[in-house]
Amino acid sequence: MRSDPSTSAAPLRGLGGPLRSSEPVRAARAPAPAVDLLEEAADLLVVHLDFRAALQTCERAWRGLAAPGLAEEPASTSLEVKCSLCVVGIQALAEMDRWREVLSWVLQYYQVPEKLPPKVLELCVLLYSKMQEPGAVLDVVSAWLQDPANQDLPEYGALAELHLQRVLLPLGRLSEAEELVVGSAAFGEEQRLDVLQAIHTARQQQKQEHSGSEEAQKLNQEGALSCKFLSLLMLVRQLWDSAVSHFFSLPFKKSLLAALILCLLVVRFDPASPSSLPFLCKLAQLFRWIRKAMSSRLYQLHVQD
């Protein structure tokens, strides 16, 4: 990321284009060293493209503003200088591809999100949404919008709309978006209706995607069950083929004995009874026929080979 020397330090240039705040940077009355350091940081950023030195200069200016000797200065004298230092620092971090550090870097000076200047918060939202990570500023912007002290600021409406379009809707936080639109006076009636319609459309799309994913999951489960059932059938068939081949590999007498034992267990007939003799004869004939058929089949296979 590189800055255009013809531009000022106030606009934030993100990847692919400038990220601009709606509020211009104005240097207010502040201690002279802080103003000098601000000008030096802007010069390092825009003219010399020395982003690391520009960031270090901003940090040095912040330490000077927090010095005990300046505690007696009115709070309003350095607010805009602090804001301008943050803008230059954000630009420097973005140019060094350290944009993920922007939010933590800003909060180390303002301590809590509710105290962030609207311009700095706007630049953070634009930067993180442009880098496809709007969730990083979700809690910060929500806390800022919920603070009663910020709701009377003229920038409140623009930040609420920006939060809605760049953070809540892309993240699919439709319930929070609806609460913001309905409960905030920053939206006009026509704008509120348009946003609610967009939320309704997004909610319908979410339902369709959810139902589609459920159907796909159900089909996957059915396919998995079918595969398991087929695998079980194949296993049973293999076991049956193994048992049959093992049975017919036994000598004839042993096979006949095994069949008799099976009949004793299943049919429970008495082999010593005269009425059982016809059954035994038929069973012996059946086994001879089976072995003859198996032998002829094996012989045919051997001849074909």
Distance CA 208, CA 212 (A): 6
Distance CA 98, CA 19 (A): 16
Q: What pLDDT, on a 0 to 100 scale, did the predictor assign at position 27?
A: 46
Domains of the chain are 12-187 (1.25.40), 251-305 (no CATH)
Q: Is the pLDDT of residue 98 over 80?
A: yes
Share in percent of the chain as helix, strand, coil (round to 5) = 75, 0, 25
Task: Please state the pTM of the whole predicted model.
Answer: 0.60
Using 50, 70 and 90 to split pLDDT, how confident is the model at 294? low
Q: Cα–Cα distances in Å, from 291 out to 239, 252, 260, 287, 300?
A: 21, 8, 16, 6, 14
pLDDT digits (tens, 9 = 90+) for 147-186: 999 998 999 989 999 999 999 999 988 888 888 888 777 7
pLDDT digits (tens, 9 = 90+) for 22-72: 444 444 444 468 889 999 999 999 999 999 999 999 999 998 887 665 544
What secondary structure letter does DSSP report for 135?
G
Distance CA 82, CA 53 (A): 17
Using 50, 70 and 90 to split pLDDT, how confident is the model at 145? very high
Q: Is the pLDDT of residue 15 over 50?
A: no
What secondary structure letter does DSSP report for 73?
S
Asked if 158 and 121 touch (Cβ cutoff 8 Å), the reply is no
